[in-house]
Structure 1
């Protein structure tokens, strides 16, 4: 009966207490219920001597900065653990949770710590005795070199190159719970992501004036490209202008990067004017295509870092804001637009330039983009429904009433206890229970014989 009571009692305990009980009774012999009761009483005394159940906050940092343009962040996890069930430290024999909290262990040199961890078969990453580093689920790494081992095991003269600058270490904060009972487990995380401002490349854009079919001037945003043999205009733009398209069988085939080719839909002849000087105008033939390029620039540009361009007459006032490109002016006209003057953005060797053209100053080169800083917080708590808590309460408080056994059940139990044996092969054998009152079955022989003769007669036919 001790086995049954012990099994039921262990199911009522939490996993940490069960694990502590198993560690205390490591022998192959089955522990008795009396030893279990003594263990529980000892645990109660420990809890009563500690009025405040200590809780420890474990924080894991697993974010490292690999490139200046990539996002660097920190992730914090909060879990609650009871300090009353902690095992004794292998160094100082004190109960202080994990090995990295041991003051004596911290006084050792890194080589001595490493030898101690290897000798006791501990995990190199989290210093736990439950698993090795190959099976460690912890996402934390060394804060010095970002390798998968604990920071306390890092050698100062190690040949391991630091691949990134890790986040600063911080001391875990102790939180006391005066309720005297384990609380709900809550997981909280806070991720702060700050991106250092990378740069993008500005291509020269300008706004020109084009007369439509009704004689009205419309603004067209164009890209100045010295690497294009032809000039292009989007189908949407020429439809807006209402100009006539010339469809010819000899329309050239446009080729892009990688040798991809596509035939144009035709070409249109148009005249455009400069916004700053109406006397400057050009006639060009532009091939009609579905799209010239993507929106330019690809991201918003930080104009505060280019104050040198503030007083210039720009060819495109919206050069820093992503927008559609309606037209492309190729190399056949590009050199006729350039003038001699140019202005440098700042003293940096990667600063953009403002090139003077007859359309205004065109901004070309590398430029910083807008800073992107975002903070995301999340807090989740697992709370059981009220119905589940009430059901557990009644199940725990309900008195187990054993079922009333009938006379046949008692007889079967008696036969089972009396006749159950174990043979040499390890198999169990038990006698089958038979009813003692055979007369209650009645006189069935005559009926069975009639059925037997009837079956014989059917088969003989």
Structure 2
């Protein structure tokens, strides 16, 4: 009996599915009909009548489909699939009905050319009869996904197009509303049946949920505070700040918030989101204003700045695209493959067993220094501990601890060396020339392979001759006995200069002279501190600090800290160097330790100074040394050293390898019948030591054999070619 019952259910289910397919076919025909109408410039009375009849039929079709689908869901084993069919059909039906209502509404507003339109005397009617009617593009329904940011624009647009349109009944409005809602917003009215009475309930539910002034205000304020900071100069990022600011402030104003009085707050908030270069330009622009900048002035500055960056980017791309390419043949690649039939077993240089040095127990038992010594004596690659190549040509992975090019077995923790830079005091001599003693701060990337040193830099305000303030970058050096300013900043400020001849000596006995000085008025950006400094004028103080960009992702700077130099991690020029005369007056007593292997924060009257070593493996390695000045006043040793370097040595001492090459040349050089010299190639290693080329060649040969075994025709032709090659 159970089997017979199952057969009856299956046959009944198949019949119901066929009937449901008929409903789907009718809906598809209605969709085809609408697609033809959508291309028309207007609907005639006949087409409008036909469309109305078809719409009534489709509305009845929904009831038939619902009955069939309910029975299918009761009999079907796969309920999820049945629910998906229902959702797909109803979504399509509601969408097509919405389109149909839209066509009828458009036809009512814009009758087809030649259709009766009233008394026949209006200009519009004449224009229609004359064929001059132009059909405007359709206004698409707005969509709302539940995001509070989009509620106000959706609400106003939907009310204007649908909700307040008296020519659309409530059932059709409900159709439009369902079609417009997506995501979490659609779930609010999902349980309501499609009836005229339920439309007002649905709209009220939606308004109660999203038309909440308190939540809307919080959301728009949060959007202002959540703007992503700009990392580098970008016109699109600047325009995004303008758009986000205007959009959210307009929304807040429509909600009754007094945004007209928020200029100072918004300007301060958004200026902190700018990149360092744009922020510096804004501070200089703000200093030239007579009063506190307004939001409109800030927005205008951002727009002008974005236009400038966009113009520069387009110009650069144009130059790059039109740059002549004369180096088509500049790079040619040649590939060589060397292999040997080396069947001898690999022998460990340590114990002569058949394993690699990296697997040798005796080698692993040694301490780190002994391993390094043994590896060098065995002349193996320091990266993989194999013979046949050097570490620079090794393709295997590096040390897993420090990621440098050596084997993990050879890694050792090297204590940081302490570099002490002594400053010798030189007495002041009589006359015009004064010897200025300065200290040196050394940040060599080659001495500290794990990071870069941050020096104490700060952004300050400096006054020009007329009292206007400008932004400058200052370096604090507690070892310097004098203060310095660049000539470019002095000219920019148009400061009065005084005669002051001095000799400034640097590291390795390098000296320079300065003949002028000036008085500089310095103010803090973060407080009320200000002072006057007498500075020597130099063309350049030092190179850009830091020497390379430093990633600040892993530096845990506490929130609420006002840095003296917000762009401390980006290379930039130093305009002023302030020595010990003012260093201790500026420096405060508070210090914040950011943790192990992190720089420290020092409080000062210029803001919080960040200094110390930043450990970052991503810092590019360079062979340059960044040094400030140290004490010396003699230039004669420098000239003597220059002459020694410039002179030609009378005798050159050959190295061990050069002696071997000389000996090899003498013993193996001969001349052929044409008079050309012939000499054998000098080799450091035995020709038998060819690395891993044998393994590579063997693997390729086996791969070729497998390929030939699969294609007998190719294998036959390959054998014929090889025989012909051997017979040559």
Instruction: Give TM class, smaller chain.
Output: 0.3 to 0.5
TM-score (structure 1 length as normaliser): 0.43
Bigger share in strand: 1
